[in-house]
Amino acid sequence: MGVIIKGGTAVTAEQSFKADVYCEDGRIAQVGLDLDTPTGAEVVDAGGQFVMPGGIDPHTHMQLPFMGTVASEDFYTGTAAGLAGGTTCIIDFVIPAPQTSLLSAFHQWREWAQKSVSDYAFHVAVTWWDDSVHQDMGTLVQEHGVNSFKHFMAYKGAIMADDEVLVNSFTRAWELGALPTVHAENGELVWQLQRKLMESGITGPEGHPQSRPPEVEGEAANRAIRIAQALKTPVYLVHVSAKESLGEVIRARNEGQRVFGEVLAGHLLVDDSVYLNTDFDTAAAHVMSPPFRPKGHQEALWRGLQSGNLQTTATDHCCFCADQKAMGKDDFTKIPNGTGGVENRMEVLWHAGVNTGKLTMNEFVRVTSTNAAQIFNMYPRKGSISVGADADLVIWDPEASKTISAKTHHQNVDYNIFEGMTVRGTASHTISQGKVVFKDGELFVERGAGRYIERPPFAPYFDAIAKVRDQNPPVFVER
């Protein structure tokens, strides 16, 4: 049975127009004014509301084994929470332990994700290097629909990628038509600053931002971008949180380099005062990397989004409850890093972005959905309202308001970094694969209904970079 959305205003990355949308067999079948209602179709009244492509959160970590524990949100609860907030697709991360097989890790994550209720895809982290990694990257791209690889420049002694790994992996990614992505923080600086702070008696969560100041991020951003420049590969920086790293992204883009930047809803809205809270649980609940920054950085990040220098918004949804955060009660370096937000990203961005005039509705669609679909090569299947696209849609009530709280959210975590924030503009309905899965505050999800989305290599921007390389080959290619 199909679903017809009647009387709404469709909002895409390009335009807004009055239209009904008919979904059948999981796809958008018709878009137009005053469509006839097919017999038996479920009718959703979208009068006074906006119909937008479902959100894509390109950065989540469901049930991630990390820092001696496992993230509390699994693929079932996490994708359900996403749907409750209008996010219909996530891109999560497969993170193999160093010296272990990328392919085995990929299969492990695929198994964990079987219970997802919305669609999902995977980036795969490159945490070490040898010939098997080179080979597995090829297999992942050519046989398993992976087109992006992640590099953690932080987390020394665990999953940190050094320059050798970065150079080898970026080179290989280019051959395969895959996009290298980086968590840009200088892991050595963080490591040494952590030791010094602990030795000086700073053991609480206030030590976390002190051990990861903005320069740490700026240095790594510059290094990753310069490596990409030398190798003439594109590069995507996850969670740009500081003026210093944003500055590197802007500089490189102004110089013609194909650099993409992501910003987290949390970094746009939460500042570093949270670490001064004398209640350990509250301060520790905000420990994530990079940390929340002083307010001036938020203004810069908003400008980055407005100017198009940052293209995507994400959450880095990686949840740990208070009992897990307590692992670092006497040593902030042991507090599991991560915060949630997959359910709230779209509403907080609408509230703080569209309601204030920082973003147009079309820009909102671009930064919450379409740009991610294009950069990670899922467009127009995802991120568009077009005939043949997946029927992943959110119906947005611009007048509905709600106050965000851990007491009422669907996320499987006991804290919400947006606690107490009242937002105007929320999802009234979410449609996933052509089915109404969220309506008037209630979820109607089916365990395992989510599909793994294969993403082909060689997104359109590869062709553009190839032309530049032909004229001016990278340092490693024979001239």
Choice between 183 and 381, CB closer to Zn ion: 183
Among Zn ion, ligand URP, none, the one that 312 touches (CB under a kind-dependent 5 to 8 A) is none
CA dist 452 and 470 (Å) reads 35
CA dist 385 and 9 (Å) reads 12
Choice between 44 and 56, CB closer to Zn ion: 56
3-state secondary structure of 421: coil
Residue 461 near residue 234, CB atoms below 8 Å: yes
Among 20, 57, 248, 316, binds Zn ion (CB under 5 A): 316
Q: What's the min distance (Å) between Cβ of 289 and ligand URP?
A: 4
Neighbours of 303 (CB within 10 A): 15
Closest CA to 395 of 416, 425, 358: 425
Q: Does 297 bind ligand URP (CB under 6 A)?
A: no
Torsion of CA 364, 365, 369, 375, to 10 degrees: -90
DSSP secondary structure, 184-217, as one string = ---HHHHHHHHHHHHHTT--STTHHHHTS-HHHH
Among 12, 147, 289, 324, binds ligand URP (CB under 6 A): 289
Among Zn ion, ligand URP, none, the one that 92 touches (CB under a kind-dependent 5 to 8 A) is none
Q: What's the min distance (Å) between Cβ of 427 and Zn ion?
A: 24
Among Zn ion, ligand URP, none, the one that 384 touches (CB under a kind-dependent 5 to 8 A) is none
Among ligand URP, Zn ion, none, the one that 288 touches (CB under a kind-dependent 5 to 8 A) is ligand URP
Give CA 478 to chain center in angstroms: 36
Q: Does 317 bind Zn ion (CB under 5 A)?
A: no
Q: Does 183 bind Zn ion (CB under 5 A)?
A: yes
Among Zn ion, ligand URP, none, the one that 127 touches (CB under a kind-dependent 5 to 8 A) is none
Q: What's the min distance (Å) between Cβ of 318 and ligand URP?
A: 4
- Pull the structure tokens for residue 102: 């990328």
Residues in a beta bridge with 281: none
Which x/- pattern over 174-213 shows residues binding ligand URP (rule: CB under 6 A)? ---------x------------------------------
Among ligand URP, Zn ion, none, the one that 459 touches (CB under a kind-dependent 5 to 8 A) is none
Residue 275 near residue 326, CB atoms below 8 Å: no
Among 20, 74, 316, 390, binds ligand URP (CB under 6 A): 316
DSSP secondary structure code for residue 354 in this structure: I
Closest CA to 413 of 114, 81, 69: 81
Q: Does 411 bind ligand URP (CB under 6 A)?
A: no
Choice between 66 and 396, CB closer to ligand URP: 66
Helix axes 102-112, 131-144, angle to 10 degrees: 40
Residue 248 near residue 286, CB atoms below 8 Å: no
Q: Does 337 bind ligand URP (CB under 6 A)?
A: yes
Choice between 182 and 249, CB closer to ligand URP: 182
Q: What's the min distance (Å) between Cβ of 107 and ligand URP?
A: 21
Could you tell me where the DSSP H helices lie in 126-186? 131-144, 163-176
Looking up tokens 């991120």, which residue turns up? 383
Residue 149 near residue 175, CB atoms below 8 Å: no
Which x/- pattern over 26-65 shows residues binding ligand URP (rule: CB under 6 A)? -----------------------------------x----
In the bound state, the residue with its beta carbon closest to Zn ion is 183
Q: Does 325 bind ligand URP (CB under 6 A)?
A: no
CA dist 248 and 225 (Å) reads 8
Choice between 119 and 316, CB closer to Zn ion: 316
Choice between 194 and 430, CB closer to Zn ion: 194
What is the contact surface with ligand URP in residues (CB under 6 A)? 61, 183, 288-289, 316, 318, 337-338
